[in-house]
């Protein structure tokens, strides 16, 4: 069911207040976006974890890159002291009524696991997933090329990213 954006926000706020939720966020969000999600999750007494499954590649690092991290801002998440995913998806989602996914890469596999475990989902993303079972609310965010923010690289350098596409 498609509804007006203001109604979607109202509906989502009601869901956030009244359920045992976990926020699962991308380590490729900007530092500012991560901070804001952390603040909202805390305000709603929700848990928060940074997804790592799809952001690691043991064959990726070399003498120059020196890391197997594929995420743009994994080090920003560490600076904000955000907990990282240590359990598999099923174990992680099993303790909650619902999950809020924010910009997560390969979100369809997360949504499928949530559905299989009777965990409802809220999706905040730039793209619509192919798996929409059990999604209570979907809210749009700008894609990475439409956002501004800061990212922290492996060496601790702060990098400012400017939007590439004007709105």
Interval 39-92: pLDDT, tens: 999 998 999 999 876 555 566 555 554 555 666 677 888 889 999 887 889 999
144-153 per-position pLDDT tens digit: 778 888 888 7
More confident residue, 28 or 38: 38
**pLDDT value at residue 61:** 57
Residue 108 near residue 133 (C-beta atoms within 8 A): no
Stated as kind and residue range, the H or E segment containing 79 is helix 74-79
Confidence of residue 166 (pLDDT cuts 50, 70, 90): low
pTM: 0.83
**pLDDT value at residue 47:** 93
> Of 160, 108, 162, 155, whose CA–CA distance to 135 is shortest?
108
Residue 134 near residue 116 (C-beta atoms within 8 A): no
**pLDDT value at residue 157:** 81
**pLDDT value at residue 59:** 65
Would you tell me how many other CB atoms lie within 10 Å of the CB of residue 30?
Answer: 21
């Amino acid at each position: 069911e498609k509804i007006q954006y203001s109604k979607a926000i109202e509906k989502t706020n009601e869901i956030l207040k009244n359920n045992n939720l976990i926020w699962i966020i991308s380590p490729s969000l900007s530092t500012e976006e991560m901070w804001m999600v952390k603040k909202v999750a805390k305000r709603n007494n929700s848990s928060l974890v940074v997804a790592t499954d799809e952001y690691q590649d043991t064959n990726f690092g070399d003498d120059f890159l020196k890391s197997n991290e594929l995420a743009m801002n994994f080090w920003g998440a560490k600076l904000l002291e955000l907990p990282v995913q240590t359990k598999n998806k099923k174990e992680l989602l099993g303790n909650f009524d619902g999950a809020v996914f924010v910009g997560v890469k390969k979100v369809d596999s997360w949504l499928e696991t949530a559905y299989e475990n009777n965990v409802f989902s809220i999706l905040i993303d730039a793209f619509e997933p192919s798996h929409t079972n059990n999604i209570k609310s979907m809210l749009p965010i700008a894609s990475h090329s439409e956002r501004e923010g800061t990212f922290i690289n492996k060496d601790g350098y702060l990098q400012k990213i400017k939007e590439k596409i004007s709105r």
